[in-house]
């Protein structure tokens, strides 16, 4: 006699990802807290943007110059004139110098800790790198002013002698090394631990089977890293680099301690002078009048937008690389 299952109850439908969960009180509470935290973060970001935009509009409404192209900064003048051309140039140039120096070194250190160093050396070295990431920026600034600035003068003279033909490394003014180039080196030292730590953790997540398969096929250690480790960790390295770039763009006290501020744009990066958004805000906020503070907030709004654009571009690059990897899988 055949047994039919026409009247058998249907199996319960599987929960979709992102659904309310099992219906337990703990799951509902956790879902509500996590959702509320995300909404609160968006509200805070929107509030910051609205506040900066409002205060910036008050300053820009009375500014006599072009805010984006004016080199002068004199909100207390008659008429008030201020612009961010020098600050934007200094912020971008110093951050680019820091990224060019720090990212290759950080990736090399991360690869050494994760794939080359013996375990007895890798663990203490990783611990030291993590400790460097926790050093306050003012400590880096004091070290840069007392040690880096005096000793970089010799490097500047060497660069001027052998690379002065590039125009960028030509030193045309006599003075200590309180320049954007010095700031870039200091920022590179500051962001190096962050990029190293994140990249190291990404490289440690590479599937062991991939590396062993490459070794079994006769690949050398470098070929394993080039063909398996670096492609797998590319998006993570980009994220780490953008994290370091975010700190370089907004660094305040270290830059203010080392840089000799001036509102002059010079492509001679070894000459003293320059300015960044954060350094200018820190230096002028206390002595500024109401209009001056609104002008500083307007420059802070530009830095806020610049940081958002950098992070958004990084997210876009990572998402496209994930789609490309998924399509070729």
Is 73 a domain residue?
yes
CB-based contacts of 48, cutoff 8 Å, min separation 6:
304
pLDDT score at 42: 93
Residue 328's pLDDT band (cuts 50, 70, 90): low
Least confident of 46-50, 54-58, 306-310: 306-310
| pLDDT number for residue 77 | 83
pLDDT above 70: percentage of residues in the chain: 90
Confirm whether 219 is domain-assigned. Answer: yes
Name the band, by pLDDT with cuts 50, 70 and 90, for residue 215: confident
Does residue 272 form part of some domain?
Answer: yes
Residue 78 has pLDDT above 70, yes or no: yes
What letter does residue 13 receive in the DSSP assignment? P
- Neighbouring residues of 45: CB distance < 8 A, sequence distance ≥ 6: none
Identify whether 29 is part of a domain.
no
Mean pLDDT of the chain: 86
> What count of Cα atoms within 13 Å lies in the side-chain half-sphere of residue 177?
25
- Among residues 177, 156, 141, which one has the least CA distance to residue 251? 141
**What is residue 57's predicted lDDT score, i.e. its pLDDT?**
93
- CA dist 296 and 56 (Å) reads 8
pLDDT for 216: 86
Length of the chain equals: 329
User: Cα(36)–Cα(159) distance, rounded to whole angstroms?
Assistant: 54
Regarding predicted confidence, which is higher, 215 or 295? Answer: 295
Residue 33 lies in a domain: no
The CATH number assigned to the domain holding 162 equals: 1.10.3720.10
Most confident of 76-85, 90-99, 131-140, 250-259: 90-99
Residue 299's pLDDT is 94
CA distances from 76 to 70, 175, 245, 262 (A): 15, 30, 33, 17
| pLDDT score of 99 | 95
Higher pLDDT, 195 or 264: 195
pTM for this structure? 0.85
Instruction: Count how many domains the chain has.
Output: 1
pLDDT value at 325 more than 70: no
The mean pLDDT of 251-255, rounded to a whole number, is 89
Judge whether 72 lies within some domain: yes
Tell me, yes or no, whether 24 lies in a domain: no
CA-based max dimension of the chain = 104
The answer on pLDDT for 109 being more than 90 is: yes
Q: Are 194 and 240 in contact (CB under 8 A)?
A: yes
pLDDT band at 329; cut points 50, 70, 90 = low
**Structural domain boundaries enclosing 212:** 48-323
Whole-angstrom distance, CA of residue 224 vs CA of residue 217: 10
Report the chain's C-alpha Rg in angstroms: 26
Question: Average pLDDT, stretch 278-291?
Answer: 90
- pLDDT for the residue numbered 233: 87
Rounded CA gap, 157 and 119, in Å? Answer: 42
pLDDT in tens, 121-151: 999 999 999 898 889 999 999 999 999 998 8
**185 pLDDT exceeds 80?**
yes
Question: Between 86 and 4, where is the model more confident?
Answer: 86
Confidence of residue 96 (pLDDT cuts 50, 70, 90): very high
- H or E segment to which residue 82 belongs: strand 81-82
Mean pLDDT of all residues in 174-198: 91
Helices (H), the chain: 25-60, 85-111, 119-133, 137-143, 149-163, 180-204, 208-216, 221-224, 230-250, 253-258, 277-284, 290-328
Looking up tokens 């806020």 gives 304
Distance, in Å, from the CA atom of 6 to the CA atom of 204, rounded to the nearest integer, reads 52
Q: What is the pLDDT of residue 1?
A: 46
pLDDT score at 221:
85
Mean pLDDT of 247-253: 89
Residue with structure tokens 């125009």?
Answer: 167
Q: Is residue 38 part of a domain?
A: no
pLDDT value for 15? 54
On the question of pLDDT at 16 being above 60, the answer is no
């Amino acid at each position: 006699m055949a047994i039919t299952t026409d009247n058998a109850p249907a199996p319960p439908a599987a929960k979709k990802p992102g659904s309310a969960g099992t219906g337990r009180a703990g799951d509902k509470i956790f879902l509500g807290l996590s959702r509320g935290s995300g909404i609160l973060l968006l509200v805070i970001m929107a509030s910051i943007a609205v506040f900066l935009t409002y205060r910036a509009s008050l300053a820009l409404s009375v500014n006599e110059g072009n805010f984006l192209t004016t080199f002068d900064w004199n909100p207390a003048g008659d008429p008030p004139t201020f612009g961010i051309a020098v600050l934007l140039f200094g912020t971008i140039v110093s951050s680019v110098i820091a990224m060019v120096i720090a990212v290759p070194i950080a990736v090399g250190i991360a690869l050494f800790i994760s794939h080359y160093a013996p375990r007895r050396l890798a663990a203490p070295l990783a611990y030291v790198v993590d400790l460097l990431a926790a050093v306050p920026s003012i400590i880096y600034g004091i070290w840069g002013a007392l040690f880096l600035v005096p000793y970089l003068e010799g490097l500047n003279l060497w660069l001027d002698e052998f690379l002065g033909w590039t125009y960028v490394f030509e030193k045309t003014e006599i003075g200590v090394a309180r320049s954007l180039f010095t700031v870039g080196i200091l920022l590179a030292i500051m962001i190096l631990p962050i990029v190293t730590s994140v990249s190291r953790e990404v490289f440690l997540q590479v599937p062991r089977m991939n590396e062993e398969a490459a070794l079994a096929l006769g690949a050398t250690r470098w070929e394993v890293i080039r063909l398996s480790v670096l492609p797998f960790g590319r998006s993570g390295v980009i994220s780490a680099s953008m994290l370091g770039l975010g700190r370089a763009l907004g660094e305040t006290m270290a830059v203010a301690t080392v840089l000799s501020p001036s509102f002059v744009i010079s492509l001679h990066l070894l000459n003293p002078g320059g300015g960044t958004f954060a350094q200018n805000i820190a230096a002028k906020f206390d002595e500024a009048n109401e209009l001056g503070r609104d002008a500083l907030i307007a420059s802070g709004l530009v830095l806020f937008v610049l940081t958002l654009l950098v992070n958004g571009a990084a997210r876009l690059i990572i998402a496209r690389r994930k789609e490309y990897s998924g399509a070729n899988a």
